[in-house]
Amino acid sequence: MQSTILIAVGGNSLIRAGERGLIPEQAANAKVICEGIAELAARGYRIVITHGNGPQVGSQLLRSEAASGQTYTLPLDVCVAMTQGEIGYILQTTLQSALAERKLSTPVAAILSLVLVDPRDPAFRHPTKPIGPFYREADAQAKARTLGWTVVDDAARGYRRVVPSPKPAGIIGLEAIEHCLSHGIIVITAGGGGIPVVEEGGALRGIEAVIDKDRASQMLATRLGLERMVISTDVDKVSLHFNTPYRRPIDRADLRTARGYLAAGHFAEGSMKPKIEAAVAFVEQGGCEAIITDPRHLLESLDGLSGTHIIREETHEPAPHH
């Protein structure tokens, strides 16, 4: 029996650029992801899957807003819960089919997951995470007045709502995840970073926020005591000087080197930076290796033939530079 591995599926893996996000489109994209995961199961790995939900939660918010005159509106934490169910269903059925094709009867369970956050987190005073559609300035300001939103000008493409993105502080129901894994069940959980909740007088209450999926995945992998985690994204390797003629893929980087790349500002805040930060945190906190790659190179990366590998020991990567 191989060890347990966490695979964090990227938020845009199910809805690719240019697609409308129709369920058949999402299912087709899920098939690419699940083929690799099913092959890992065939190799004997125990597997926990996390996933993003950016496009799906944006659509859910749009539906809620469009139907606000006819039905109840949905707070953000409920939208996260609903997209956990939607994506969990797509991944579960697709993965179950891929396992059956390999004559495997491995059960798959999608677990609705709550993630505890600290209500005193500074993120609640400074919302930064854009969600939902773009608005004209007048419409955005009207929503800010009537709904209490914080809105910002998003790269001159229009105005968007921004919400807090607090750090995850705990996984509610971690024991249930551990129980499933110990019984050979593939677990899908912590979707979209988890449903954000705060604890008040011993009770849990949902709160309007978005938890970074990579941070939540790292925390889950660390709490489970895993040796390896994979962050799946839309490129096979992380690169320095991305989108320039000087682009250079990173095959391996130890902690010191990876921290240097972060300090030098090589990675964008809303793109690769949180993935590198999560990979570094995972290895710092006891993991042996974090891998960043795309779904098509999942197996090759685990075999050491592709992907970017963040490891503990020294490498011969050159020093970071601006």
Distances (CA, A) of 305 to 25, 199, 237, 297, 298: 29, 44, 11, 9, 10
Active site residue 275: yes
Report phi then psi at 179, rounded to 5.
-60, -45
Active site residue 29: no
Give the residue carrying structure tokens 């963040």: 310
In this structure, the chain runs to a length of 322
Of the residues 11, 191, 194, 287, only one is catalytic, namely 11
Distances (CA, A) of 267 to 72, 140, 239, 260, 263: 40, 30, 9, 11, 9
Of the residues 52, 192, 275, 307, only one is catalytic, namely 275
Which pair of structure tokens corresponds to residue 176? 């249930």
Which residue type occupies 77? D
Active site residue 213: yes
Of the residues 12, 167, 173, 273, only one is catalytic, namely 12
Which pair of structure tokens corresponds to residue 296? 């098509």
Which pair of structure tokens corresponds to residue 89? 């269903």
Which pair of structure tokens corresponds to residue 317? 């990567």
Distance of alpha carbon 218 from alpha carbon 198, whole angstroms: 20
Of the residues 36, 54, 129, 132, only one is catalytic, namely 129
Distance of alpha carbon 13 from alpha carbon 9, whole angstroms: 7
Pick the closest to residue 258 from 229, 284, 294, 236 (CA basis).
Answer: 284
- Indicate the SS3 state at residue 319: coil
Of the residues 29, 88, 213, 237, only one is catalytic, namely 213
Distance of alpha carbon 185 from alpha carbon 92, whole angstroms: 12
Pick the closest to residue 215 from 178, 169, 184, 160 (CA basis).
Answer: 169
Active site residues: 11-12, 129, 213, 275
